Amino acid sequence: MSGAAILMMVLAMLVLWGGLGLAVWNLMTRSKAPEEHYRRDL
């Protein structure tokens, strides 16, 4: 693989998978409301 291709692949991974990681972290730590659980199948 060329250096440019490796660089763009790593960049795409960082942006999309890193973005997913940040989104999950945001949801776990910054949500205003505590999650409600339904106790049974509604």
Q: Which residues of the shown chain bind other proteins in the complex (CB under 8 A)?
A: 1-2, 4-9, 11-13, 15-17, 19-20, 22-24, 26-27, 30-38, 41-42
Angle (CA) 21-12-5 rounded to 5° is 150
- CB 24 → other proteins: shortest distance, Å? 6
For the bound state, the minimum distance from the C-beta of residue 18 to other proteins, rounded and expressed in Å, comes to: 9
CB of 19 to other proteins, least distance (A): 4
Within a 13 Å sphere around the CA of 37, how many CA atoms are in the beta-carbon half?
2
Q: Which residue in this structure is represented by tokens 């049974």?
A: 40
Tokens 């199948």 -> residue: 41
